[in-house]
Amino acid sequence: MKIEHLQGLISAPFSPLNAEGELDLDIIPAYYAFLKHNGVTGAFINGSTGEGVSLTLNEKKLIAEAWAKASNHDPDFKVMAFLGGTCLADCIDLARHAQAAGLYAVSLTSPFYFKPANVGMLAESCIAVASAVPDMPFYYYHIPVLTGGNFSMFELLKALDGKIDNLAGIKYTHEDFMDFQSCISFKNGKYDMLWGRDENMLSALALGTKGAVGSTFNYAAPLYHEMIAAFDNNNFGKAQQLQQKSIDMIRLLGKYGGIATGKAYMKLVGVNCGEFRLPVANMTVDQFESFKLDVSELGFDDFRSTAPAANL
């Protein structure tokens, strides 16, 4: 399989839920159009931002089908499905379903209850799942802060290289820049390394990354497009300022309780994805009013994503 190196901003979409906390799939076609309008080149569905670990197996399949239908094999918009990582049989089932639905790629993270004892066991897990869809690009998803699988990705690439032909690369959501650089350089840049930390994306650009997957691309894509353009034009001062703006925006997630704050940002750009499921905490009404004031002080309207002409 020829490994494609993806470029640009790949969004990690929120799973839209209604007032009863059930899937609201009708939002997804407009969500896709919204992301396309803002220059986003793909969607990494059912991941951390998409509450994949809080969705049932059937719900994950329904979301995959909805995104496949909405994007309709758009060659300029790659939809990648996160499979989970606890029950490998379920992951294989989801991978085969994603392939049948016509999605671009699948991604597996480290099992996070019974954890792999070493890189070798993690590699075996990857091989078991990737081999079930040999004609579909397979990405490993490195996010040790949530999985506890804090292994060297350079060592994982060495363990997997030549073992599965559909290994496309790694979605790298960690701060080990030495390891990330080694992965980029491995076999003369053979594998696609997608950056996953929006708050230090500028550092990853300096190391050579061309593609990134992030939650804040949902609602602030123009900020990152501008930062990438500044970096490409050697305007490093401006790029640093824009990265700091990103950091200031992301700090509000911590102030207002964490990942669910992203859905509050989405309400401000006109895409109401509901709230997060338990055990994640959501904002109170009073907190949301305070949040809107903080967002205004950031100058959010200057870099927020905007709706296409046909309003959502």
Residues classed as catalytic: 141, 171
In whole angstroms, give the CA distance from residue 262 to residue 11: 12
Instruction: Give the other-Cβ count within 10 Å of 224's Cβ.
Output: 25
If we measure between CA atoms, which residue out of 173, 259, 263, 269 comes closest to residue 222?
Answer: 269
Name the β-bridge partners of 171.
141, 194
Q: Cα-flanking dihedrals φ and ψ of residue 188, to 5°?
A: 55, 40
In whole angstroms, give the CA distance from residue 1 to residue 281: 43
Residue 73 gets the label, from left (phi > 0), alpha (psi -120 to 50) or beta, of: left
Which pairs with CB-CB distance under 8 Å and at least 24 residues apart come from 72-78? 73/102, 74/36, 76/41, 77/32, 77/35, 77/36, 77/40, 77/41, 77/42, 77/43, 78/6, 78/10, 78/41, 78/42, 78/43, 78/104, 78/105
The amino acid at residue 194 is L
In whole angstroms, give the CA distance from residue 264 to residue 284: 11
Contact 190, 3 (CB under 8 A): yes
In whole angstroms, give the CA distance from residue 44 to residue 13: 7
Name the β-bridge partners of 167.
138
DSSP 8-state assignment for residue 123? H
The amino acid at residue 24 is D
